[in-house]
Structure 1
Amino acid sequence: MGNELDAFSEELRRRLEVRIINKYAVVTAYVRITLKSIGALLLLWATVVLLGGFVSSMKKDDFWSVTIIAFVQAAGVFEAIGFAGMDLYWETQDFYHNVKSWLQKCWCVLNQLPMRQWWKKQIQKVVSVLIVITLYVRAVLVLGLAVSGPCVCLHASSRATNQDYGIADGEAIKANMKRALNLFYNAVSAHSFISVFWMPAQALANKLIEDIVSRQHGFSRKVIRAYLRKTKDMCLKNKTSATSWNFITYGAGLLDSSLPEEYAAGGRVLTMLIDKDIPSQVRRLLIRSPRQRIQKLIDTLAWRSPADQEMTWLAARIVEHLASDLNLAHFPGALECISSLFNQLPVVSGQGTKNLVLPGLRILENLAHDEDNCRAIYNSKGLLSKIVAPLRSNELVQDIKSSAAWTKVVHGSLTVVTKLMSTCAGATGKEMRGLIADDSHVVGNLEAVIDIKSDSSITSLQVGALTVLIQSAVHNPASTFTERLIKRALHIFISTDWTGDYLNHDKNRMKEAKRTANLLKQNAGGALEILSSHPEAIKSFTVCDDDIHRLTELLDCNIKSTECKISATETVEIEISISCRISAAVILKHLSKYDKEPTLRKALEQLFPIQQDEPIKDRTLQALLLSLVVEICENSNIDLAVILLQQTPSDSLEDFVVSLKKMVEDNMYGPGECLAIHKLSCRMVTELMKHDRNIQVIDKRNIVGTLLEASKAMAELESSMLFSGFNHYDRYGVPLKPLLSVLSKNTEDLLTQKKQALGIYTVPASVPIPLP
């Protein structure tokens, strides 16, 4: 944890505002402190040395010059009014704009008062005008002092060249006074000159930094200006604080303010940073902040006042990016506040109309990462019906075709429903899936969404609809819509007819259309993979020989793409992804009533290719093809050895054993796919040992010894899986038990028994052969 915090702090220190703005603020702080210290010394010299020691000998002009300079220094015009005044001078445009906006807002409110309150309206108008005049007078005074203070001191110090104190009479006190005055006047001249130069130079530097940061990184000038002013004030108090200060801490700090304007400013800063593709840093810092800060943001979601609409939107954006790290149990009333977003009108601002429904759905989507959160969302009164409401619309398909904004809302609703279905386990997940499966109107709408023939803009929506229907079909595999879903998904997965029509509809964006078409195929394959693995849903699969042939062709890695005809003379190639090949292997493994020999030959060709072919590099596909081969051999009358002899020349059995051994060696150390490969290899070797003619080859190549070595390498992985309770079948059809060590030992024992029966010299594979 300490290393993570150090890395996070270092990442923040490398941020732009830390490297540029904060360093500039430290420099200005040193300059201001230096000028302030010099001013204090000049004040001390004027009061103690000159006015205290030589006041009786000083001429009238020198007396008033020193007194005026002392008063200006004592008032702190240089370090306080001066620099702040120059900042105000360069911000007059914003100042006038803010005052004008405030005055217009006041008058707008006053004009809405009824006529019977006419006198009250006039009095308040006069008061508002007086307030504005006062603000303008104050601004003029500050600007006047900012410019005139150093100039007055500079003019007063010109007495250094007009002194006429004579020392010929031998009065040492006058000689000393003249030296003291010359030193004082020269120091004041230098101090005033530097101050006069530094104030506009600092203002110009402020504008330059604003331009650089705003132009290169798109940050708001108003935010940069406010951050720079705050950073300068901090550095004057503590220069080391700049190292841990940045836009994120600045915005987070403003969230704690009790002033509405500062609270809104903090929301704007953090939202701006989120929009600049740095939400992870904002999230990490806010998650580490006090819980009441996050609770305040959540409570803001329920604000209903029109004046608070902007802050409600900003809070929703921030909570959206925090939601994946939140536990609803720690924030009472959070779901009620989130639910209120679905009842509010869109926020109208200078940047357009913003719909609060979308951030509300995204908040729920991110909260659904946690099972406890999912359970709370499901049990929240009325919230679930609001989430599913877009899917129950009577004109869902028509609205999707006509409105891009409504399409986003439907997609958000589908995403939340999918998360709730997939994350919830036990009774809650079952009830959630049943809620959708039993709603025929929702199911019909989702089926209609899948059937929409449109461009790539709604592909993600179709993928979401397909995912929700899969979960519903798993809940009720015997339903009629499960069979319809399988037919739709199978058509999308293996057919090219719809693909040609789809690409022809979106020819202007062919590259994007091909990508989304491939994505839809992958998700259809994933749906069929899940449904074929279900013991009840597999009964709804009805496939013909042509379907089996197309699925088998997908296993062939030498076929890189499929050809789609988009017109009478034009065709387009769509790449076949690894994901599609994996899904085809799983589907073929679970289907039973088809001629499996061609599929077995194709799988063997891919697993153990001839020398000129490139072997499969994807471990998942490798393990699934191996699982397909083992499944076919163990559950049919096909003799693997005979198939191998027919594949290639007569020595192919030995080549096969060598290739299988190499596969085990290449996957000796690795994740769960490697463990599945080893276990499936044990089963394949056991299958080969059913025939005595294969024993000698297996013994000669010592593949059993390699499997025993692999069992030792995988022992820790298996123990950790046992400890975590992972004790079920995976997608490869390989249970955790029996362990690999048991399977490999059983394979060794079987080999020993076979060798003894055949009279072959017997040395267990686990015992090394002694050297002569």
Structure 2
Amino acid sequence: MTVKSFAEGQSSIHLDIPQLPKENESTISPATIFEPQTNPSSRNYVSPTLPAVSAPEKKLTLFAVHLAVLEKIATGLGTLGFIWATVVLLGGFASTLDKTDFWFITIILSIEGARIFSRSHELEWQHQSTWSIADAGISSFRALRSSSRALVESVKDMLSPVSSATRKQSQHSRNISKTTDATNITEQKLRRKPTWIWTSSEVPIIPYAGRVFLSRNVSKILYWLQLLSAIACIVLSLMKLIKHNFGDIAKRDTDERNRKAALCIFYALALAEALVLLTEKLYWEWKVVICKLLEGVNEECNLGASGMNSTRRFFYDSYSRCINGSIFDGLGMDMVTFAMDLLSSNSPQEQLIGARILRQFSTKERFSDGTLQKMGTTLPVIERLVEILNWKHPHEEEIRLSAAEIVSKLAGKKQNSLRVAGIPAAMESISSLLQTNRSLSSTADEIGERKIVFDQEDYGHWTFINLGLLILKKLAHDHDNCGKIGNTRGLLSKMIDFTHADERILKDSTVTTSQVLIVKRSLKVIKMLASTTGTTGKNLRREISEIVFTISNIRDILRHGEKQPELQKLGIEILTSLAQDNEATECIGGTGGVLKELLNIFFQGVQEEQRDVRIVAGEALAMLVFESRSNCRRILKFNVVERLLEALEIPLLHVNAGRILRNLCTYSGPESFNQLKGVTAAAPTVLKAILSGEGKLQEVMVGLAVHAFKFMTAEESTALFKREGLREAKLACTLVEILRSHRNPHVKVPRMRRFAIELAIWMMREKSTNVQIFRDLGMEEELEGVMDTTSELESFNIFSGTIGLSKHSTTIHSLVETALMLLKNRFDQPMKAC
């Protein structure tokens, strides 16, 4: 690249796609390419500190601890009763026990032994099940009737396989018709897809047993067996403790008293254990069925109807930890860690559950900060998310969508964005999201121009494209990431393709928001890449301008986008950034209609929302005629001088109109002298702005005056001051005051002192009497102060961030020395007051 050497200034799964996050697109930065911008690509990555919120799942972990305490007490009592019976009663008194006691003890031991050694297995079956929380097997006495009905149906299934299949089909149809949640439909599709792996809940444990012994029903059976065993233990124990019929004491040996006490202790232990177990079940029913604890936590977590399965799985994991280890082990669990573990699983269902949880927690303001921080510090999770972006199977579409949303949130934090971009092949994975159906236009007026064909039914593809562009936009805030984006093969071309918008999209108000959003986000990313600083920015601008569709796509937006001013603004800002390169400047000017459309927007925009577009159009025009004689000639062919003079009177346009006129006067060449002679008509407006203006306007008008006055003879300039009722002394006084008030260069007006010195030099050369005026006003002292405070800031006409471009051929030191030489010439002329 040549750096400018400036002298002066089809079949698819349809998902219920959530609303795409919208960034604040309306914020307008007042900084321009004509002034340095401190850290232009920096952003506020630190979210405001929010008060700590208690995680909703803490209620579940605490509930699991309470249940575990009761369970361990019941298990301890049962174990003690088991040991007591086997060692003391059956071991010591087996031959002397009454027949009823013997069988009662045997039954109780069998029941309790089965319960103690099967409890962990019940949890395992519960964890693997996918039935609803309201099913009988988990919580509800009220569901006994439905469980019985299910048992009858299961028996019928075994006897009549044909009717079973018919009933299953009708039940399946009813289930689909009842649900309105598109996520549930996705789950059904996942269940229908061919697979080589059994779903644990669908495994027939016993052959030919139909629905009865499916693994999802085993936990129900175990639940009711435990409940019935507890009731049986209570009944048997109470019968013996109330009646005290331990046999004929008179016929027993002398140890009968100990035998009676031992029996009482055993029955009391069995009763206590059963009562504790029933208390646990009642507590479960109270919290789960009556208080709806799981539903409440699920609602607080914003997981939706499909999230109940996730909430149940989390609870069972926590409960299992409390049962199998310390009762406090479950307290260390949280929903985010749980979801991250599921995401790393090899099971599609577990991956989907984990992705859903992380998506909800990362997109909700209440939980997003903590969730993103935890994920951001877990590199394997980020790698997994980036890997999922490459998944292309239709049945994995929701997991991929969730991963894309999560990555888009992670990329919004600076440290996380660096970690995402640092993963090998991360950019290629993100690029895989930017896939759509393409066709080539073959019409006569569009030969060779590629178009993106948006399928009206292919909304899912649009969503992935939008998310991919959003991720790239957030990553592009970092300078190093911009280089990686540019180095990713084919990625720039894809984004340029998405900047194409035909007349229908731009003018039709019925066009979907997603179509416009794709164009807008692609333009935003290209703009950020084109405005990158340093060597990376030079390479990116060269690569962007070398893609043959870049400028023509932007031209179409300028031509037909009057109803989309935001798109026009982004396209114009891209042109302004690309114009930092000489070759790109010529390419833009040589593309038919670009300069014309920019002039039309600059002069003719009338709607309130077009104010910002007119401003950036003026900046683009000023940049395109900057040191480009060919572009100056092209613009002058439109006879724009008079309209530019009129624009000097319009507050919205006067700054950029002044810049354009100054650059036209500077770079047009002698052949355009006659066309530019009319610039002298702006002298009154320029003088007024210099004398009464401030800031950018004053800087631009001082710079314009230097060149506009060159088209005037000494007699014409004298007549001008006389006609306007001004004296040269007034203007000289203002210039000295400018130097005095700008003892140090300011970033907002970096050329103010340079232009003031240039105009003072012109005045002293034009009239010798002005030398004495400047001397008496203290000009020499101010110039010496400028010598002591010069900065590199004043050496450049345009800037790329904090990097200066277009260095002036004449240094400010040389200008000061020229002015001081003129001041040393002595004339005996009286001083004229301001």
Conserved? CA contact 1:391–1:413, under 8 Å = yes
1:229 aligns with 2:271: no
Q: 1:343 to 1:675 in 2, by over 3 A?
A: closer
* Alignment match of 2:224 (pick from 144, 147, 156): 144
Could you tell me how far apart the structure 2 residues matched to 1:268 and 1:20 are? 17
Question: Counterparts of 2:522 and 2:593 in 1: how far apart (Å)?
Answer: 23
Query: Which of these residues, 351, 356, 360, is aligned with residue 263 of structure 1?
Result: 351
CA gap 1:694/1:521 in 2 versus in 1, 3 angstroms: same
**C-alpha distance in 1 between matches for 2:317 and 2:64:** 8
- The AA in structure 2 aligned to 1:27 is L
SS in 1 for 2:244: coil
1:461 alignment partner, one of 555, 567, 587: 567
2:233–2:270: 8 Å Cα contact kept in structure 1? no
Q: What's the CA shift for 1:408?
A: 4.5
Q: Which of 105, 116, 122 matches 1:74?
A: 116
Whole-Å Cα distance in 1 between the matches of residues 109 and 433 of structure 2? Answer: 66
How big is the alpha-carbon RMSD for the aligned residues of Structure 1 and Structure 2?
6.1
Q: Deviations over 1:18-57 (max 9, x none)?
A: x142321331232133223322431343245565446656
Cα distance in 1 for residues equivalent to 2:601 and 2:545 = 24
Q: Please name the residue that 1:188 is paired with.
A: 273
> Which residue number in structure 2 is paired with residue 541 of structure 1?
635
Relative to 1, partners in 2 of residues 1:312 and 1:106: Cα closer, same or farther, differing over 3 Å?
Answer: closer
Structure 1 residues 414 and 725: CA distance shift in structure 2, 3 A = closer
Within the candidate set 47, 53, 58, 1:23 is matched to 58
Question: Which one is further off, 62-71 or 588-597?
Answer: 62-71
Q: 2:557 aligns with which of 449, 462, 465?
A: 449
DSSP 3-state at the match of 2:435: helix
In the TM superposition, residue 306 of structure 1 has moved relative to its aligned partner by 3.7
Asked whether the equivalents of residues 686 and 704 of structure 2 are also in contact (C-alpha less than 8 Å), the reply is no
- Name the CA distance, whole Å, in 1 between partners of 2:569 and 2:801: 32
Q: 2:611 aligns with which of 511, 518, 527?
A: 518
Greater RCO between the two (CA within 8 Å, min separation 6)? 2
Asked if residue 632 in structure 1 is aligned to residue 705 in structure 2, the reply is: yes
1:687-706 matches, cutoff 5 A: 691-698=771-778
Q: CA deviation at 1:241?
A: 8.1
In the alignment, is residue 429 of structure 1 matched against residue 504 of structure 2? no
Q: Residues 344 and 356 of structure 1 are in contact (CA less than 8 Å); yes or no, is this contact kept in structure 2? A: no
Q: How far off is 1:652 after superposition?
A: 7.0
Residue aligning to 2:747: 672
Q: Kindly provide the amino acid, as one letter, of the partner of residue 647 in structure 2.
A: L
> How many Å apart are 1:191 and its aligned residue?
2.0
* Residue correspondence of structure 1 range 626-665 to structure 2 within 5 A: 626-630=699-703, 632-633=705-706, 636=709, 660=738, 664=742
1:551 matched to 2:551: no
Tell whether the 8 Å contact from 1:470 to 1:527 is kept in structure 2 after alignment.
yes
Q: How do residues 487-506 of structure 1 correspond to structure 2 at under 5 angstroms?
A: 487-496=596-605, 499=606
Q: How does 1:572-591 map to 2 (within 5 A)?
A: 583-584=656-657, 586-591=659-664
| SS of residue paired to 1:728 | strand
Determine the C-alpha separation between the residues in 2 that align with 1:735 and 1:165: 118
User: Which residue in the other structure is 1:90 paired with?
Assistant: 133
Matched position secondary structure for 1:331: coil
Partner of 1:673, secondary structure, is: coil
- Tell me whether 1:220 sits opposite 2:220 in the alignment: no
Match of 1:615 in 2: none
**Distance in 1 (alpha carbons) for counterparts of 2:62 and 2:191:** 44
Structure 1 SS opposite 2:560: coil
User: d(CA) in 1 for partners of 2:430 and 2:495?
Assistant: 14
CA separation of 1:26/1:409 partners in 2, compared to 1, >3 Å: closer, same or farther? closer
TM-score, length-scaled by structure 2: 0.60
Please give the alpha-carbon distance, in whole angstroms, between the structure 2 residues aligned to 1:414 and 1:197: 61
Give the structure with the higher percent helix: 1
Aligned residue in 1 for 2:73: 38
Going from structure 1 to structure 2, the CA distance change for 1:213 and 1:67 (only over 3 Å counts) comes to closer
Aligned residue in 2 for 1:600: 686
Contact 2:65 2:330 in 1 (8 A): no
Give the distance between the partners of 1:444 and 1:687, measured in 2 at CA: 43
What one-letter code is carried by the residue in structure 2 that aligns with 1:25?
L
Give the Cα–Cα distance (whole angstroms) in 2 for the partners of residues 736 and 664 of structure 1: 20
Deviations 1:374-430 (A, max 9, x none): 67766766665555456679xx32465564355455445545554554445445632
Q: Partner residue of 1:528?
A: 621
Q: Contact conserved, 1:320 with 1:359, CA < 8 A, in 2?
A: yes
After TM superposition, the structure 1 = structure 2 runs for residues 197-212 of structure 1, keeping only pairs within 5 Å, are 197-204=282-289, 207-208=292-293, 210-211=295-296
Partner of 1:289: 378
State the identity as a percent.
Answer: 17
Deviations 1:505-564 (A, max 9, x none): xxxxxxxxx43x33433432342243244544444433645423443234x4xxxxxxxx
1:284-322 CA-to-partner distances (Å, cap 9, x unmatched) read 55454335x555544544544443344444444445556
Task: Return the alpha-carbon distance in structure 1 between the equivalents of residues 272 and 593 of structure 2.
Answer: 93
Q: Is the CA contact (8 Å cut-off) linking 2:721 and 2:727 kept in structure 1?
A: no
CA drift of 1:199 comes to 0.7
Q: Structure 1 pair 132/416, CA: closer, same or farther in 2 (3 Å)?
A: farther
Over 3 Å counting, the alpha-carbon distance change for 1:468 and 1:209 in structure 2 is same
Cα drift, residue 626 of structure 1: 2.7
- Gap change, CA 1:419 and 1:279, over 3 Å in 2: farther
- Find the aligned partners of 2:691 and 2:726 in 1 and give their Cα distance: 10
Taking structure 1 as reference, are residues 341 and 727 closer, same or farther at Cα in structure 2, changes over 3 Å only?
Answer: closer
Matched positions, count: 657
Contact between 1:150 and 1:193, CA under 8 Å: does it hold in 2? yes
Mean Cα deviation higher: 181-190 or 87-96: 87-96
Report SS of the residue matched to 2:804: coil
User: 1:247-302 CA distances to partner (integer Å, 9 max, x unpaired)?
Assistant: 544443322112222223333333444554687776655454335x5555445445
**Deviation string for 1:704-759 (max 9, x for gaps)?**
89979978xx99x999xxxx9966358xx889976xxx799x79x9599879999x
1:391·1:446 contact (CA, 8 Å) conserved in 2?
yes
Unaligned runs of 5+ in 1: 1-6, 111-123, 504-513, 557-575, 609-621, 759-772
Please show how residues 267-416 of structure 1 align to structure 2 within 5 Å: 267-273=355-361, 276=364, 285-290=374-379, 293-319=381-407, 325=418, 330-332=423-425, 335=428, 338-339=431-432, 342=435, 356-362=464-470, 386-389=494-497, 396-398=502-504, 401=507, 403-404=511-512, 406-411=515-520, 413-415=522-524
Partners of 1:181 and 1:444 lie apart in 2 by 92
CA deviations 1:608-627 (Å, max 9, x no partner) are 5xxxxxxxxxxxxx256335
Shift of 1:141: 0.4
User: CA contact under 8 A between 1:316 and 1:360: conserved in structure 2?
Assistant: yes
Query: CA 1:130/1:63 → structure 2, altered by over 3 Å: closer, same or farther?
Result: closer
Q: Tell me: CA distance 1:175–1:420, structure 2 relative to 1, closer, same or farther (3 Å).
A: same
Query: 1:477 deviation in Å?
Result: 3.8
Q: Retained in 2: the 8 A contact 1:26–1:232?
A: no
Counterpart amino acid of residue 355 in structure 2: G
1:192 is displaced (CA, Å) by 3.3
The letter for the 1-side match of 2:74 is G
